[in-house]
Amino acid sequence: MTDKPRPNVEFEVIKDESDQFKRSVEVLLPNRISEQQLAEVAAYLHQGGEGNTFIGYQIDGDSDYGYWATTNYTPDLSVRVIGTASELGTDMESQSVSADTGEISREEYGENWPFTVDSGRLECWRGPAAVFVADGTVYQLNGVAKQMGHAPIDPIWRDNPAIPGTKISLGPVIQRALKLCN
């Protein structure tokens, strides 16, 4: 690891996890910073040179609907400012224009229930961002929601007991979430 000086930006690392494939870091910022400053923080945190490093930035006091910005090394650096929840209009009460409330449960789906939690709510944000909300966490169901920085679905995605090494299909719940956009 090189000894890069800490950037002149106030930030706090609130989570830093690694596995054999990637490193995931969550950073708390007291306020918005420039894309250049995001790149400086990313370079400082990436000093170890881990191949796939994903860094999500939250603004202190903003809701927990996702990241304000992300910087990712895959392997080159990309910087993306997404915006705060209030800027995105992600007020949960105003999201659904469909008669479907999005409430779903293990009881409704039976053996095809794809999650390890018993129930939650499907939502569709800003067009085609399909998400599943359970126990106060907003999980990504598709690539658009992933780009917005929502929590990965993997920790609550249920294994398929019929086919070892695979997961229960998310297809039906993603389709239902996307219908909430229309």
Query: Average pLDDT, stretch 8-12?
Result: 93
Distance CA 113, CA 46 (A): 38
What's the pLDDT score for residue 86?
Answer: 46
What's the pLDDT score for residue 65?
Answer: 53
**Secondary structure, 3-state, 123-156:** EEECCCEEEEEECCEEEECCHHHHHCCCECCHHH
Which residue has 């990436």 as its token pair?
46
CB 121 within 8 Å of CB 98: no
Ranking 86-100, 127-141, 162-176 by mean pLDDT, the lowest is 86-100
Task: Summarize pLDDT for 117-168 with one digit per residue, the tens.
Answer: 999 999 887 668 889 999 889 899 988 888 888 899 999 999 999 888 899 9
Peptide bond into 75 cis (omega under 30): yes
Distance CA 57, CA 46 (A): 14
Can you give the length of the chain in residues? Answer: 182
Contacts of 94 (CB under 8 A, 6+ apart): none
What's the pLDDT score for residue 50?
Answer: 66
Calculate the CA 108 to chain-centre distance: 26
Residue 49, pLDDT > 50, answer yes
